Structure 1
Amino acid sequence: MKPPKPASRPDRVSLWRYMQLFRQDILSAQPARLYRAWMAEFRTPFFRSYMMNQPDLVKTVLKDRPEDFPKSDRIGEGLRPLLGNSVFLTNGETWKRQRRIIDPAFEGGRLRETFPAMWDASEAAAGRLREGVSEIEAQTSHAAADVIFRTLFSIPIENELAAAVFDEFRIYQRSQPILNLAAFVPLPKWMPRLFRRDTRASAARIRDLIGQLVAARADEIAKGTAPDDLATKIMTTQDPVTGEKFAPEEMIDQVAIFFLAGHETSASALAWALYLMALYPDWQDKVAAEAQALSTCDFSVISKLSVTRDVFRETLRLYPPVPMMVRENTCPEHFRDRDVPKGCQLVLSPWHLHRHERLWDQPDDFDPARWHTENGKACQREAYIPFSVGARVCTGAGFAMVEGVLILARLLRDFEVETVNGRNPVPVAHLTVRAQDGIWLRLRKRQR
């Protein structure tokens, strides 16, 4: 049995129909030929887009010349009410300054320091599971949010403010479309953006709650009583170039993206990993056997979870949480014998790149052992970008790999997961790659 994949649209549909499909689900809106194409052009009356799957073109855009291909404002417009001027949306000198302040908090040594908080969150996640049929995305969302609050602010998800942010974010997810009108029509900067009223209101409530957390932490820092966690590290770090720290409003922007990126993406990946384990019980047994090493809170156990890491890596290949990234070229380009005018949208799609039929052996198969083959090693270098690559690689990539591997192993140490008849998940893209009607699994206590 192959892991589920969305239905592809016919190669020829009207622009209006494409816009409808794209707004509903960007995965199902794409034609099947993109899984073989090195480069594809899409034109609208307002702009051109080019999807790039050829590894050397991806390398050019993301690694070799990132400043020539900044993030597209058009795609980020829909997230602006929540994320403000966060590092996820900025470009140029603003982005560089933000990364200089943020990056030190996620350096290698900090992973060891944050591990106890991840451990506590994984223990709590296992403790919440019960035997029977469960919608597993809700469980992984709860677990991932708990990790964020424990590592960022040293508070569990049960904390009143943390729980309020989590509850409000679930409301925001339901109201937030993947794109708004600005994705299709180049609106001038002075024109007001149209957002659904409930989306804007929900974003404002989340930012107000985060503001309370930031203000409380600033007070603790001033008194010298702040815990040594990620929030304290980021709020006390000076930009080595300008000597500036984040202002309170800037910190709210950054915490919003940490929660969105760190919580939403991890929840997506963990849910799909558990589903794949239910689909492939032989691999589930291997992960469960490794998970017996998880008996004490010791960072060294991560090195013993090699199979679990391969499973999680393969999950990120098949179901990359962020399925597409959009850049904009600042000058005319010439790619694959095509002239690409200035201002075009360049789409780098982990979803298509990771399943590309001309790159990967058996691209639609779930095979964690592939990472030890010559093809798997080559593709990992050239065609595997779940966290992006280059200058704008996800700051928390290492953090996410430790978190995902730990929680997956911890849950499977105590529980077996099985598929549920008639509940086959269909992947769709909302804020991240999720299942259209959730991922339903049957849980049983594992006999140890």
Structure 2
Amino acid sequence: MIPPKPTPRPDKVSLRQYVKLFRHDLLSAQPQRLYRAWMAEFRTPFFRSYMINQPSLIQTVLKERPDDFPKSQKVSEGLKPLLGESVFLTNGETWKRQRRIIDPAFEGGRLRDTFPAMWAAAESAVARLERNIGQDIEIEEETSHAAADVIFRTLFSIPIEHEIAGRVFSEFRTYQRSAPIVNLGAFLPLPRWFPRFFHKDTKSTATSIRALITGLTEERMAAIEAGTAPDDLATKIMTTVDPETGKPFDTNEMVDQVAIFFLAGHETSASALAWALYLCALFPEWQEKIAQEAQGLEADFAAISRLKISRDVFREALRLYPPVPMMVRETTCPEEFRNREIRQGSQIVISPWHLHRQERLWDNPDGFDPTRWQTENGKQCAREAYVPFSAGARVCTGAGFAMVEGVLMLSMILKHFKLTPVGDPPVPIAHLTVRSRDGINLRIERRI
């Protein structure tokens, strides 16, 4: 049984049709040929885009010359209301300064320090699922709740049940449904002053979320000054100064960063975990293997290294359903890719969705096979064609955090419950991340 995959569009459509398809879902808006092409060109009256699937080109863009290929501002158009000038959207010296302050919070022993909070969130998720024994549930709602709980516990030392945490989570769900993956400014060369015509719910929820985060940030700054702040990620980041300028983040800068931590740490983790649980329900032999492996799981960070089956399954879920389906860079000077001249200002699209299913690279690219990571083909593709967290200088700073969280949650849930798919297969589409068009419905039963 092949895991669900969106139906691609015909090879040739008009620009108007493509924009309409793209705004609805960028995955099904792409043609089938992209699963085999090393590079594909897309032209509009205003700019040109090139999707690259060739590993050597991706190496050039992400690892060898990242400063020559900054993040495209066209992608940021739709995320500005919530993320402001966060590390996810900035480039150049601003981005480098932000990473110098943020990265120490996720280095070395910090993962071990955050593990108790992750464990508490996992236990809370199990307790919530326990109330649904024998019922059909929409698993994306549950994984969203669990991932948000992890973020608030590790970042601000508060559970999702905290009033403000709960309000941020509720508002974000509205934002996620109303915010398109791209804004009008992604297709048209609009001046900065020109309105972007965001949906009213997108603007209002972004304003509300940022106000709530501002309150949490100001409260934490006061606690730091009073010497009463807990030793969590927020405190670590807010007390770190840039080694080059000697300055920390101010309140507005920290609000921007918390917003992206919540988006990246909650939305992407929820997507990955939901698809992993669905795949385990679809292939019950794998959930049995994970359940058996998890029998000895205990609240000890060292136990994570022993969850090898769970890790391989989670990696396979990230391959088939990468939370961020496309990354867009921009050329700062003329380039030549595959004997083709690329103009300055062109968009370079790296699509984990297509790269992870590249027919010329992967054995059984559309199949679910967690054993592939132990094969020569799997090991080579892991090095050259696997970028769920991007790669190079701009690799997600929370990649290690996400892998620990995902593996722990997957093991804890399957240790206690047996999952069975119900209803029609989910249809993957891209909102802010890769989600199911109509949710992912599973029957949950207590594991005996």
Q: TM-score, normalised by structure 1?
A: 0.99
2-structure distance, mates of 1:308, 1:108 = 23
> How big is the shift at 1:304?
1.1
SS at match of 2:127: helix
Matches within 5 A, 1:64-79: 64-79=64-79
SS at match of 1:428: strand
Question: Does 1:431 find its partner at 2:432?
Answer: yes
Which of 167, 171, 189 lines up with 1:168 in the alignment? 171
> How big is the shift at 1:191?
2.4
1:74–1:186 CA contact under 8 A, matched in 2: no
Of 46-55 and 197-206, more deviation after overlay is shown by 197-206
SS at match of 2:442: strand
> How big is the shift at 1:186?
1.3
Matches within 5 A, 1:134-213: 134-213=137-216
2-structure distance, mates of 1:441, 1:316 = 19
> How big is the shift at 1:192?
3.0
- 2:236 is matched with which residue? 233
1-structure distance, mates of 2:237, 2:124 = 26
2-structure distance, mates of 1:180, 1:377 = 37
Matches within 5 A, 1:15-94: 15-94=15-94
1:293–1:304 CA contact under 8 A, matched in 2: no
1:322–1:433 CA contact under 8 A, matched in 2: yes
> How big is the shift at 1:16?
0.3
> How big is the shift at 1:26?
0.3
1-structure distance, mates of 2:159, 2:49 = 43
The runs of at least 4 consecutive aligned structure 1 residues that moved more than 3 Å come to: none
SS at match of 1:292: helix
CA deviations 1:230-252 (Å, max 9, x no partner) are: 00000000000000100000000
Matching residue's letter, 1:76: S
Q: TM-score, normalised by structure 2?
A: 0.99
| Identity across matched positions, percent | 71
- 1:9 is matched with which residue? 9
1-structure distance, mates of 2:189, 2:267 = 28
> How big is the shift at 1:189?
2.3
- 1:248 is matched with which residue? 251
Which of 296, 318, 342 lines up with 1:316 in the alignment? 318
SS at match of 2:349: strand
Matches within 5 A, 1:271-286: 271-286=274-289
Contiguous gaps of at least 5 residues in structure 1: none
- 2:398 is matched with which residue? 396
SS at match of 1:330: coil
Contiguous gaps of at least 5 residues in structure 2: none
> How big is the shift at 1:152?
0.1
> How big is the shift at 1:171?
1.0
Matching residue's letter, 1:54: Q
Matching residue's letter, 1:209: L
Which of 292, 295, 304 lines up with 1:302 in the alignment? 304
1:350–1:386 CA contact under 8 A, matched in 2: yes
SS at match of 2:415: helix
> How big is the shift at 1:188?
1.8
CA deviations 1:137-175 (Å, max 9, x no partner) are: 000000000000000000000000100100110111111
2-structure distance, mates of 1:108, 1:439 = 36
CA deviations 1:42-95 (Å, max 9, x no partner) are: 001011000000000000000000000000001111100100000000000000
Matching residue's letter, 2:63: K
Q: CA RMSD in A?
A: 0.6
1:428–1:435 CA contact under 8 A, matched in 2: yes
2-structure distance, mates of 1:194, 1:272 = 32
2-structure distance, mates of 1:292, 1:284 = 12
1-structure distance, mates of 2:398, 2:361 = 27
SS at match of 2:181: coil
1-structure distance, mates of 2:306, 2:121 = 20
Of 46-55 and 192-201, more deviation after overlay is shown by 192-201
